[in-house]
Amino acid sequence: MNHRLANKRALVTGGSRGIGAAIVRRLAAEGAQVALTYVSNPAKAEETVQAARALGVKALAIQADSADAGALTAAVDKAANELGGIDILVNSAGIAVMAPLDEFRLEDLDRTLAVNVRAVFVATQAAAKHMKEGGRIICIGSCNAERMPFAGGGVYAMSKAALVGLVKGLARDLGPRGITINNVQPGPVDTDMNPATTDFAKTLIQLMALPRYGTGDEIASLVAYLASPEAGYLTGASLTIDGGFTA
């Protein structure tokens, strides 16, 4: 694989499994040193770190709950210290709580916003202090920002729609410093938390132009492009990769 990210330093929040882990592996395969954050599964985090190291790069895992602004800021600073700086930040940590309107708890709304929105701002603010010209920030949103075809997902959709505006606004702050920020909006992706073999998955596939779930590696390929020098003129954008879910 082309090592277009050689000598770059990357931090992926929520990078221990699923889409986040696929992103860690892809960035490592392209030559980037990588740090990841995780919340509660050190074994899974270590597995992803070892996969990155096997590709010949430095890699480390940092325990931090993205809902805790202090812990997240400390994790960003630790990654910068361990790697010698940060060139790429991927805000991949996220949660999805689904429930009918009458049953949705306010504490779940608050945590959804804390992880899916506030943490993106906190990590971006902290990482930008370590970035030089050419820095890249990529957020992992969702196609549900544009289409929520079933009940119970309003809060999740709201949190991902908020990223669209946040990224547009932060592009104005970061642009004069030569730093880009973009938002990737995946559709249904086959992960351990959303496997492609369930009855729920079958209902989603019926809504798509391509009758299948995506893979973490497919999402990671778009993230790697946005992190690369080739994407230097792209900022403030939300790019949907959803198999035609929103078509």
Taking Cα atoms as reference points, which of 198, 205, 101 lies closest to residue 158? 101
pLDDT tens track for 68-88: 999 999 999 999 999 999 999
Q: Is 153 domain-assigned?
A: yes
Q: Is 218 domain-assigned?
A: yes
Q: Which of 38, 156, 213, 225 is catalytic?
A: 156
Q: Is 247 domain-assigned?
A: no
Domain range for 215: 9-241
Q: Is 32 domain-assigned?
A: yes
Beta carbons within 8 Å of 101's beta carbon, 6+ residues apart: 151, 152, 154
Q: Is 208 domain-assigned?
A: yes
3-state secondary structure of 29: helix
Residue 134's pLDDT band (cuts 50, 70, 90): very high
Residue 14's pLDDT band (cuts 50, 70, 90): very high
Q: Is 227 domain-assigned?
A: yes
Cα dihedral value 85, 90, 93, 99, nearest 10: 160
Region for 134 from its dihedrals, namely left if φ exceeds 0, alpha if ψ lies in -120 to 50, beta otherwise? left
Split into its structural domains, the chain has a count of 1
Q: Does the annotation mark 225 as catalytic?
A: no
Q: How far is CA 132 from CA 22, 36, 237, in A?
A: 26, 20, 21
pLDDT tens track for 197-208: 999 999 999 999
- In CATH, what number is assigned to the domain containing residue 14? 3.40.50.720
Residue % of the chain over a pLDDT of 70: 100
Q: Is the pLDDT of residue 1 over 80?
A: no
Which residue(s) pair with 164 in the sheet? none
Q: Is 246 domain-assigned?
A: no
Q: Is 127 domain-assigned?
A: yes
